[in-house]
Every structure is written in C-alpha cells, then in structure tokens.
Structure 1
Amino acid sequence: MGYFDGKVAVVTGAGAGIGRALAIELSRRGARVAVSDRDGVAVLDTARRCESVDGHVRAETVDVTDSGRVLRYADAVKDEFGRVDMVFTVAGIIHRGSLLDSEMSDIARIMAVNWGGTVHTTKAFLPHVIASPSGHIVTFSSAFGLMATPRYSAYNSSKFAVRGFSESLRQEMIRAGHGVSVTCVYPGGVRTSIVRNGLFAATENREAATRNFESRVARTEPERAAAIILRGVERRRARVLVGTDARVVSTVVHALGGSYQNVMPVTDWLLGLPQRMKRRRAE
C-alpha cells in the first residue's frame, strides 16, 4: 500500500496545469480526490481523466475568492468522503506590469485569488484536516515568493504572502499539538497556461511575454512537478522547490541576502535589450 492509497485529497485549480497533474497522479496512487476549479468544463475534464485511472472523484465549480462558497464546498466534501486528509491549494493567476502602469482592480484580483483563495480554502478545510490522523495542508507560493522581480509587484506580493501564511500556519499546528503538516511549494517555470491566461498592464506585450515564458522559462512538465511535490508531501517537508530554476533562485537569495535587489533591475534591463533593439530597427 502506497502513502496516498485511500487518502482523501482536495485539489483546487484542478482544471489545468499543476492542479490537473496532481489530481491525476493522486488518483493513480489510490487517493480519493475532490477537484475544483473556476472553469467548470475544465474541471469535469480533469475528473474524467482521474476516473480513467480508477479514481473516486468529486468535481465541482468553485471560485476560491468566495469564502462562503468554499466553506460550503468543504462541508460537502467531508459529507461525501467522510473525512479530508490533505488539501492542495493550487488555484492561482499571474500579473505582469509596473505599479504605475497597473490597474488597482488587477492588483486586487491577484491578491484575492492567490492569497485570499489560499486562506479561504485552508480555513474552510482545516477543521476536517485536523481530525485526520495524517492531515496535510499544501500551499503554493512560487520562485517569485523567494525573490522579487521588477514588473511583478502584485504577483510577488501575493506569493510572498502565501509563504508567510504557510510558515505561520505550520508553527500554529506544531504549537497547538495538531498532527497536521504544512508544506509550501515553490514552483519555477512549469509548462502551464498561467502566463497566457494572466493579467497584464496595458503597456505590456502579452504575446511577447507568453512566448518568452513558454519557450525559455517553462522547463518543467506539470507531471514532473506533481511527482516532485508528492515526494515532498510524503516526506512532510516544510518547503518543496520545483525545478532547477527554483533551486537556483533559492541559492542566490541565500547567498546574496537583500543585496539581490540591486542586481535584478540590471538583469531585467539586459534581458529586455534585444527586444528593444528589434523595435527600434523596425521603426
């Protein structure tokens, strides 16, 4: 019997990317899975894929920014499965744009989904997870939750917030004597549609940013990411770094401390130089 066999696992943001890969892999390993996403069609497709590997699946359309809806969903999952052992709060979106160029509505949306959705989901399911003999909360920050970069201030803020929330929650569980583990995941570039479907300031080039991410940054397949995450969960790690890029970022921040902030603006300018030169030649 494997570690996940028979366990009840909840996965938000399961309509695509890492969330979908996790749901399918959990099903393959014998877990009973509750999957949710804001995109009802996509999450039903994920459920069908889970069922194809003989998984017991519940699929539901849930917007994690709606705390009342998430609370009702948590109770419904508990009623159907009888318990909840682990929760993966994968749902998230990205935003690119300087603070001056960004709309407040976009900034608020990023915080509502990435940080608020994590908090809503964790708080709703936590009483059920505490009741489990092997309870586990798995949150999702980012390599951008370890190192800030220009033009991602909203996204950085949300992912730094998830990191702080996760570390505090882990300490609360230890102090209260609950047997609940808390793991925070820090993915680097994973081959998902997160940038293509992201929010952009009006001054940003969506197509260029998407093309750069998908061709140069996203090196890890979602299935590989899921395997790395589940290995870390099984070992009850506090932190899981996904991808060589995430490990490099962690090492750089550890080595340079706060002084990395003096390096990043120059690096960002140099990376954008070829594109600026191309635009000038076209003019």
Structure 2
Amino acid sequence: MAGTFDDRVIALTGAGSGIGRALALGLADRGAVLALADKDGEGLAETKRLLGNRPASITTLDVTDTAALTAWVDGAATEFGRLDGIVNNAGLSVVAPFADCPRADFDRVMAVNFTGVVEGCRAALPHLRRQATDTGAAWLVNISSVFGMMGYPTQSAYNASKYAVRGLTEALYLELGVTDPDICVIRVHPGGVKTNVARNSKRIATLPGQRTDLDFAAEFEKAAKTTPEQAAAIIIAGMERRQHRVLIGNDARFIDWMTRLFPVTYFRRIGAFLGGNNR
C-alpha cells in the first residue's frame, strides 16, 4: 500500500543542517522526492550525501533573493513534474534589545524569517493548488517558534518575524480552507531544539543586569531537550495527520498553556523555567 509521501515532491528550505536536514532524511525515508535549498552550500551537499541515492536536488540560495527563490520552486516543479508541498524552514536570529539592534540586523532577520516564508508561499501556491486538485492533497508548512507565541527580551526581531509567520499561516489556513481545502496548511512551533540557530546567532547587546559572560549558544544547548530528528518526526506526523498547529517539545506545550492561562503575566511566571535574565 502506498504511503502518504511516496513519490510526493516536497520543497524544503534550510535543508543544510538541523531540523531541515532531519526533515529531508525523514521524508526521503517515507518515499518523498526532495527539492532542497540552503544558503550553506557545504551543509547542503552533506545533506545530499546522507540521502545517498534517494531522489533529491540541491540548490544553494538565499531566501531573501526572491527571484532565486521563485526560480528554485518553479524549477523543482518542472524538474520533477509536480510540487506537492513546501516547508519554509530557513531562519536566523540576533540577540539584542530593540533599542540596540541596528536596522540592518533587524531587517535581515525579518527578510529571512518572514519575507522568505511569504515568497516561498507565493511561489509554491499555484503548484500546490494544481496538485491538490489532481491528487487531493498538498502541504504548505511554515516553521514559526515558541517565540511566535510569547515575547522574550533581546529577541524583538526574532519575535516579530515568528509572530508574523504565525499570523500569515493562520490567515492562509482560513483562506485556503474555503478556496483549496485539500491544501494542508501547518504552522510549527518548535521549543528548544538542538540546532545551529543559537550557535549562529549574532550577539549584539544585552539588557542592563543581564550577565555578559555566558555563552548564549552553550546555555541554549543545555536547555534544548529536543533533537532535530525528534522535531522532524513530529512535523512529519503532523503532515500525515493534517494538523494545522504542531508543537514541538514539552517546553512548547508548557509555554502554550502558560500564555493561554496568563496572557499578561506569563513571562514573570515562566522566566525562571526559561533561564530568566541569563538567556
């Protein structure tokens, strides 16, 4: 009996490491054909090597280059004859209070984390509509964050981008539920996952009173309880079950409940859980 992803063509950004790489391997194991993209060409090549002879193409690109992103999506549909899904996963972060965050750094986070998702959706949607009509199923998956559910000091740019991804994806879910109900629209909120996002984040400044001697990436690594492979398995299960919202990790579920129960005072209540001013 054919599986959910057998011969389904899935486009995936941020495939050179972390959740993106784990998703590529997990989807390939389930029979998917992959179009993979990442700014990190070496990481992308390693993902391709790990895939072995399973069908996949790789393209090195920056998701802020809209022309290149659109050409990649259209090219994948042309190369493989269809496009059944897209996972907009690429992302980055900077660490700085809003007042100390240079405009260029803030705008870069928004361009990668939000505009890249917008343009990925825009490029993929015509193909997904066609495929949903032909086969009765397609997927549009956007990776938000627990920081798309709660504010966090020194993460204003990341917060803004991930809340925006959440809002965009909720609106698409409602709109396509009317016009294209066979397209499964999913927003994903990972908690702490052991990826390169924290390690690669640009640390610009901290708030008064915050410790400056801590290794932010090392502290995140200690707090992160979920592996990329576990995160990918949860996302793939959500795609199979056609869930609209996917939470990854006990921390994500905890934050979800706390922000619902205490919408104004949640941070004071969970700050210690998240590391307080040391994060």
Q: Fold match, TM over 0.5?
A: yes
Residue 255, structure 1, aligned to residue 256, structure 2:
no
Residue 195, structure 1, aligned to residue 198, structure 2:
yes
Partner of 2:71: 72
2:249 to 243, 251, 263: 243
Task: Report the Cα offset of residue 267 of structure 1.
Answer: 4.5
Residue 182, structure 1, aligned to residue 181, structure 2:
no
Partner of 1:36: 37
Residue 117, structure 1, aligned to residue 116, structure 2:
yes
CA distance in 1, matches of 2:226, 2:44: 22
Residue 214, structure 1, aligned to residue 213, structure 2:
no
Task: Report the Cα offset of residue 201 of structure 1.
Answer: 1.3
CA distance in 1, matches of 2:34, 2:274: 44
Task: Report the Cα offset of residue 91 of structure 1.
Answer: 0.2
Task: Kindly indicate whether the alpha-carbon contact (under 8 Å) linking 1:150 and 1:268 is maintained by their aligned counterparts in 2.
Answer: no
Partner of 1:94: 93
Task: Report the Cα offset of residue 75 of structure 1.
Answer: 1.3
Q: Structure 1 pair 100/206, CA: closer, same or farther in 2 (3 Å)?
A: farther
Aligned residues: 270
Task: Report the Cα offset of residue 271 of structure 1.
Answer: 3.0
Partner of 1:166: 169
CA distance in 1, matches of 2:145, 2:255: 10
Superposed CA deviations along residues 186-243 of structure 1, whole A, max 9, x for unmatched, are 000001111110122145858621111011x211010011001100111111100001
CA distance in 2, matches of 1:262, 1:221: 27
* TM-score, reference length from structure 1: 0.90
Q: How big is the alpha-carbon RMSD for the aligned residues of Structure 1 and Structure 2?
A: 2.0
Task: Kindly indicate whether the alpha-carbon contact (under 8 Å) linking 2:36 and 2:56 is maintained by their aligned counterparts in 1.
Answer: yes
2:150 to 147, 154, 157: 147
Task: Report the Cα offset of residue 270 of structure 1.
Answer: 7.5
Residue 23, structure 1, aligned to residue 7, structure 2:
no
2:239 to 233, 238, 241: 233
Task: Kindly indicate whether the alpha-carbon contact (under 8 Å) linking 2:86 and 2:140 is maintained by their aligned counterparts in 1.
Answer: yes
Q: Structure 1 pair 259/203, CA: closer, same or farther in 2 (3 Å)?
A: closer
Uncovered stretches (5+) of structure 2, i.e. residues with no partner: none
Task: Kindly indicate whether the alpha-carbon contact (under 8 Å) linking 2:95 and 2:205 is maintained by their aligned counterparts in 1.
Answer: no
CA distance in 2, matches of 1:138, 1:122: 9
Task: Kindly indicate whether the alpha-carbon contact (under 8 Å) linking 1:12 and 1:90 is maintained by their aligned counterparts in 2.
Answer: yes
Task: Kindly indicate whether the alpha-carbon contact (under 8 Å) linking 1:97 and 1:203 is maintained by their aligned counterparts in 2.
Answer: yes
Q: Structure 1 pair 270/94, CA: closer, same or farther in 2 (3 Å)?
A: closer
139-148 or 203-212: bigger deviation: 203-212
Uncovered stretches (5+) of structure 1, i.e. residues with no partner: 276-283
CA distance in 2, matches of 1:226, 1:38: 20
Task: Kindly indicate whether the alpha-carbon contact (under 8 Å) linking 2:129 and 2:180 is maintained by their aligned counterparts in 1.
Answer: no
Task: Kindly indicate whether the alpha-carbon contact (under 8 Å) linking 1:196 and 1:206 is maintained by their aligned counterparts in 2.
Answer: no
CA distance in 1, matches of 2:193, 2:106: 23
Superposed CA deviations along residues 225-263 of structure 1, whole A, max 9, x for unmatched, are 100110011111110000110010001011112332554
Task: Kindly indicate whether the alpha-carbon contact (under 8 Å) linking 1:173 and 1:180 is maintained by their aligned counterparts in 2.
Answer: yes
CA distance in 2, matches of 1:48, 1:206: 38
SS where residue 139 of structure 1 aligns? Answer: strand
SS where residue 100 of structure 1 aligns? Answer: helix
Task: Kindly indicate whether the alpha-carbon contact (under 8 Å) linking 2:97 and 2:205 is maintained by their aligned counterparts in 1.
Answer: no
174-183 or 35-44: bigger deviation: 174-183
Task: Report the Cα offset of residue 48 of structure 1.
Answer: 1.5
Task: Report the Cα offset of residue 157 of structure 1.
Answer: 0.5
Residue 10, structure 1, aligned to residue 16, structure 2:
no
